[in-house]
Structure 1
Amino acid sequence: MSVSAQILVVSNKEEAALTKCLTGFGYAASRMDYSKFKSEKIASPLYDLILFLNNDGRDQLSGLKEALTEQTSQILIIGENPFSDSIQSIPTTFCDMELERRLASLVRLQVMKREFIRRSETTSQYGLKAKDLPDPVSEETSKNILLVGTESDVLGQVMLQLDRGTQINVCQNAMSAMDELQSTQYDAMILLGAGQGDVNLRFANDVRANSRLFNLPIIFILDHESNRQAAYVHGASDIVLNPSEMKNLRVRTFLHINQADYRFSLQKLFKTSKPLPVTDGPTDLYSFGFMRAHLNNLISDHRAEDKYLTIATLDITNLKAINEEFGYAAGDQVLRQIGNIISFLVRGEDICCRYEGNKFLIALPCTGIDQARFALNRVYGVTKTTEFAVAGQDKPVAARVEMGLAEMAEQETVEETIRRCKGVSMVTTQAAAS
């Protein structure tokens, strides 16, 4: 059975409830006790994430820092975290949604790292040199973070935690923060508290509804555990409880900034490769030739690791009618605008191309069909409701679109999966930030 990620739980006893929770999130979980973990050198590629359960009051992690920092797998500690400056953790009082989001963020970063390496390898087949590859993660000193709130004591703690040359701007309230976000490029936003009358929660929701700011990492610093779930529901990327979790602020913030870095690097890799024969002219997406070469590696990796791989298609069902009524130049303009929407709104790890005349193809690595529906809902909603400007026409042109998706089955070809995509409906949900 396919999964989204392989997780190793390091614990001295069976944790049936935790294992059930991980399985419910779509992960495969195996367990190892601390003594075995310390005596054996774990091969990082076997696991996407190693989860340490540190909840029995003993210093189980003593002497492991060097071993942990050398791991290429993502790491999460449940309970006391002696390495809060470099390793992610979550308190033992976590709610299920908090655990799910933290795990999903760490797993997605791992998926994006592997996809960057894989896509770089495919691009190198077309002639891109290693020296021309973009740097996946930039320095912390180049990051620009907006703080929203007026609590001077909390502001001071935030400044202390992030004081590594990071550029920090302060905005007193949510009303003026939107103008600030629109006028300046920020790498993340930190909201201090839920705000009077939940104003910060509503503001986070407004940011998620803004197409330009949709992917902005949003970190809430909360004074009350009771607001945890509400913050996630309203669009939080992560939360930090004040004062108990303030020492985790930096590592949690930069987890999401690093995700954004990898998304940008994958976009930059595409732009760098444009002089090579990898692009579909009308849509300005990857060509299907490139996609075919890349899918060979993607499918091979996912089958070897028993990972989900979902394929989605988007069809412009009235493209022939647009060409006949307005001309082929108009049809090409509609194709390019839809291509721009898809490339902007898909997650960083997803890859898209034009498959044939009126059909687009999106591959979603390590993603089951329900997660894929959630991730693609915004793409579907925007393309379905947008009217497109066409040169020489006074009125906008409407494109009718249909979207379908299917998990790739074992031994199935891409063409067979694409045929199964047709007629699979999209369920309207609030899309997750990417």
Structure 2
Amino acid sequence: MKVQPFDLSNSRILVVDDNQDNLLVLQTVFKRLGWKIDQVGDGEQALQYLNHMVPDLVLLDVMMPGIDGYEVCRRIKKQPEFSELPVIFLTAMGEMGHLVKGFEAGAVDYIPKPFSLKELELRVLTHLKLRRAMLEMQRMAVTDGLTGLFNHRFIVDSLNSRIEEAQRYAQPLSLIMLDIDYFKSINDSFGHQTGDLVLEGVASKIKECLRKVDLCGRYGGEEFLVILPNTALEGGLQVAEKIRETVQTANWGVQGLQAAISGGVAQMGKETSSELLSRADQQLYHAKDQGRNRICF
């Protein structure tokens, strides 16, 4: 199987340096490669930038007004969301002691000035590739390979954290458990390849009905789990019914093939995630028992 290369053309790089001449040189190199470059002049500005932007890589000088580059790097790395963000020191302080200090602060590379533009380009390119590969591995670790939804482990872990958050802020949360009706018959009548097509299609239809804050995962087999933060039971029922109707009216491109889903909806009370899951599952069972292609709560 041929491995597709990562597209790095839209990479965003933050340069933390108060020297405008350095910025002009870096812009010349990076813009030619299609990379976006943002520049701030000191460490405080860099930390403020990271409050609202997530770059793919940081180029950081050591000697700057205010806090130095080492401290900036340490503060960046203390934040969980930036623990894997590659930071490269780009500085005239090239002695071994400074190099060691930079790596101890959390940098992935240390390029002394003056530097070769080609060397800089290749080093940055290498770390961008490593970051993209790491992000792809992280994505694959939490994603179901067939449907592209979150996998069982991640969606259950997410339910735990969302329940804790909802209880902390006294917000409602609803859970939908869905199951494709007569899925075994679809496999038996049309083949497993068509069954996979239906799984992918249902997953896509579910996502069409959700907000960005909602989470959906493949719970197992032909079962799906939908987490609706800040949503009471009535809102959960509306979403579940919308999903059911969307799946029922879908055209699967296979003659004679029709698919439908049943669902159970439950609103979080003062309970654990396991108890909430059990209630949603019980409602799903009632939907199946009452004839399928329906939502129960």
TM-score calculated relative to the size of structure 2: 0.48
TM-score calculated relative to the size of structure 1: 0.34
